[in-house]
């Protein structure tokens, strides 16, 4: 998919121009003769040439200071054309003017029209000065418009050079972008019926195929049997043939049988008539990300299962502890009853039951402490059971 474009244009060579426009070698002397006649009106010619480019009312919107500078330079340039002789320096100036004129078609037309008006004005002055010399007027008129033809030819070539350079720059930028994509992504080029035409190295490496194994085969060979048979796959190609861009994540099958996950865009390519002529697929391998997600999901599931097992074990432990606390509570209540009965019997015994009353009182106090501890343990168990349910 590399796009290359080379320019067929070169700057005009003064030797070629002399052969084409001045085979007799008389042009330079004729131009100097013309200059002596027309030079007084050149200032006005040049100002008239640049007038359409000045001010907000024109599409060029050049400031007056810029126009004044162009006028001064153009007067010197005009004198050089008529008196400096045909040389490569002059031709280079013409080429640069041609390049400047090619910024858009309107500027190019304005340059051409302004140049023609300038030559007509100079011919009018030449005709007025040579009314009684028809042979001289004919000779110099021919030389004047020979210079016009030469200048126009060089200007057009300069404009062509500028456009060619711009195309080369655009092509280089476009090629650089494609190469960057080619290095970082996979791509696959197919006909509109899904036949594989070519693919880049990234895709071949990812899918495990050589180009000879893919070329001429249908894209479906890269899909699993269930994906090939799915309505989604049928709809994909129907949309592409209809010229609709498609983007989403797809599962594809590598040569070894493993799944490959691609974040892909399928792009219909149109000809100048708007008809789909090929399909180009750009894709990024996201298999590692999907595997990582699946691994993390499995780990999370395992963690949930382990947590559930621990919760049940904890719940069982708390349940058993609750039973123990209940048993201790029952024993505590019975001990309290025994201590109360012992106190009653000690009171009946009088002096003989004092020592027994001390023991009964200690048992009662111990029973109270056990009751408090049992109540605290019950509260802790209740909190633990509630935390499990949350």
pLDDT tens for each residue of 100-114: 888 788 888 888 999
In the DSSP assignment, the letter for residue 6 is -
Q: Per-residue pLDDT for 5 more than 50?
A: no
Answer yes or no: do 171 and 32 share one domain. yes
Domain final residue, candidates 130, 150, 180? 180
Over 50: is that where the pLDDT of 3 sits?
A: no
Q: Give the predicted TM-score (pTM) of the model.
A: 0.52
pLDDT tens profile 140-194: 999 999 999 999 999 998 888 888 888 877 777 777 776 767 777 889 999 999 9
**SS3 of 198, please?**
strand
- What's the domain count of the chain? 3
Under 8 Å between Cβ of 18 and 39: no
When pLDDT is cut at 50, 70 and 90, the band that residue 386 belongs to is low
Alpha-carbon distance of 214 to 204, in angstroms, equals 9
Q: Based on the domain organization, do 257 and 323 belong to the same domain?
A: no
The CATH number of whichever domain residue 107 belongs to comes to: 1.10.490.10
Residue 8 included in any domain: no
Q: Which residue's entry shows tokens 């299962």? A: 305
The H or E element that residue 158 is part of is helix 134-184
* CA nearest to 328, candidates 390, 375, 382: 375
- 67 falls within a domain: yes
Q: What is the pLDDT of residue 353?
A: 59
What would the mean pLDDT of 348-370 be, rounded to a whole number? 65
Name the packing angle between helices 88-101 and 14-21 (round to 10°).
90
Higher pLDDT, 301 or 275: 275
Domain residues for the domain of 96 are: 14-180
The answer to the question of residue 265 being in a domain is: yes
Same-domain pairing of 265 and 316: no
**Domain-embedded: residue 297:** yes
Whether residue 9 is contained in a domain is answered as no
Structural domain includes residue 7: no
Quote the pLDDT of residue 2: 40
Interval 108-130 mean pLDDT = 94
Which is nearest to 338 in space by CA: 363, 317, 362, 318?
A: 363
Give the separation between CA 242 and CA 246, rounded to whole angstroms.
11
What are residue 251's DSSP bridge partners? 261
Q: Which of 285, 312, 336 is the last residue of a domain?
A: 285
**pLDDT for the residue 237:** 95
* pLDDT value at 389 more than 70: no
User: Mind listing the pLDDT tens digit for each residue in 218-276?
Assistant: 999 999 999 999 999 999 999 999 999 999 999 999 998 999 999 999 999 999 899 99
With bands split at pLDDT 50, 70 and 90, how would you rate the model's confidence at 292? Answer: confident
Q: Are residues 273 and 328 in the same domain?
A: no
- Taking Cα atoms as reference points, which of 98, 160, 71 lies closest to residue 62? 71
Model confidence pLDDT, tens digit, residues 338-357 = 666 766 766 676 666 566 66
pLDDT digit string (tens) for 312-329? 766 776 677 666 667 676
| Rounded CA separation 151/158 (Å) | 10
Q: Say yes or no: 190 and 41 in one domain.
A: no
Angle at 219 between CA 215 and CA 222, to 5 degrees: 100
pLDDT band at 376 (very low <50, low <70, confident <90, very high): confident
Task: For residues 43 and 129, state if they share a domain.
Answer: yes
Residue 351, pLDDT score: 65
Q: What is the pLDDT of residues 69-84, one digit of tens each?
A: 999 999 999 999 999 9
Domain's final residue, options 123, 146, 180: 180
Same domain, 31 and 167: yes
pLDDT score recorded for residue 8: 55
């Amino acid at each position: 998919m590399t796009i290359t474009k080379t320019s067929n244009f070169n700057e005009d060579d003064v030797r070629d121009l002399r052969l084409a426009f001045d085979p007799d070698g008389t042009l330079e002397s004729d131009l100097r003769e013309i200059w002596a006649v027309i030079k007084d009106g050149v200032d006005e010619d040049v100002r008239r040439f640049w007038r359409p480019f000045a001010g907000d009312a024109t599409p060029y919107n050049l400031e007056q200071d810029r126009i004044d500078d162009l006028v001064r330079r153009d007067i010197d340039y005009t004198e050089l054309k008529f008196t400096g002789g045909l040389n490569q320096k002059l031709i280079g100036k013409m080429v640069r003017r041609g390049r400047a004129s090619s910024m858009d078609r309107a500027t190019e037309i304005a340059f051409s029209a302004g140049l023609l008006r300038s030559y007509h004005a100079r011919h009018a002055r030449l005709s007025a000065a040579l009314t009684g010399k028809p042979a001289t007027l004919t000779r110099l008129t021919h030389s004047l418009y020979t210079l016009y033809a030469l200048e126009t030819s060089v200007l057009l070539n300069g404009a062509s050079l500028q456009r060619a350079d711009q195309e080369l720059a655009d092509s280089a930028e476009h090629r650089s972008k494609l190469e960057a994509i080619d290095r970082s992504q996979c791509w696959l080029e197919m006909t509109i019926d899904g036949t594989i035409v070519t693919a880049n190295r990234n895709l071949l490496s990812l899918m495990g195929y050589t180009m000879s194994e893919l070329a001429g085969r249908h894209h479906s060979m890269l899909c699993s049997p269930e994906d090939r048979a799915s309505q989604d796959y049928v709809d994909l190609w129907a949309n592409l043939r209809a010229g609709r861009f498609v983007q989403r994540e797809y599962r594809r099958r590598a040569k070894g049988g493993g799944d490959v996950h691609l974040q892909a865009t399928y792009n219909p390519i149109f000809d100048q008539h708007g008809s789909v002529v090929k399909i180009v697929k750009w894709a990024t391998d996201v298999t590692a990300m999907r595997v990582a997600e699946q691994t993390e999901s499995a780990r999370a599931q395992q963690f949930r299962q382990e947590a559930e097992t621990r919760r049940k074990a904890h719940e069982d432990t708390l349940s058993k502890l609750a039973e123990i606390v209940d048993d201790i509570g029952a024993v505590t209540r019975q001990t309290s009853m025994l201590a109360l009965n012992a106190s009653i019997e000690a009171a009946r015994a009088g002096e003989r039951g004092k020592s027994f009353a001390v023991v009964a009182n200690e048992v009662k106090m111990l029973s109270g402490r056990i009751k408090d501890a049992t109540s605290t343990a019950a509260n802790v168990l209740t909190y633990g059971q509630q935390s499990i349910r949350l």
